[in-house]
Amino acid sequence: MATIKDVAAETGLTVSTVSRVLNNRGYISDKTRKKVYDAMNKLNYTPNEVAR
């Protein structure tokens, strides 16, 4: 199972940027948002509800 760190490594972004996309916080460009969601689909990443 992929982690948020795996998604960050796949996209070349920081973990905090990926977290901002997932939590819909702050300004994130559409290009970055698409990059993160594409990586999430590729890695079969789903956020851990227990960790939230």
The whole-angstrom separation of Cα 39 and Cα 44 is: 8
* Single pTM value for the model: 0.88
What would the pLDDT profile of 14-33 be if each residue is shown by its tens digit?
999 999 999 999 999 999 99
pLDDT of residue 19: 94
User: How is the chain split into domains, by residue range?
Assistant: 4-43
Of 25, 49, 48, nearest to 6 (Cα)? 48
Band of pLDDT at residue 34, cut at 50, 70 and 90 = very high
Instruction: Work out the percent of the chain whose per-residue pLDDT is above 90.
Output: 83
Q: Is the pLDDT confidence value at 38 over 90?
A: yes
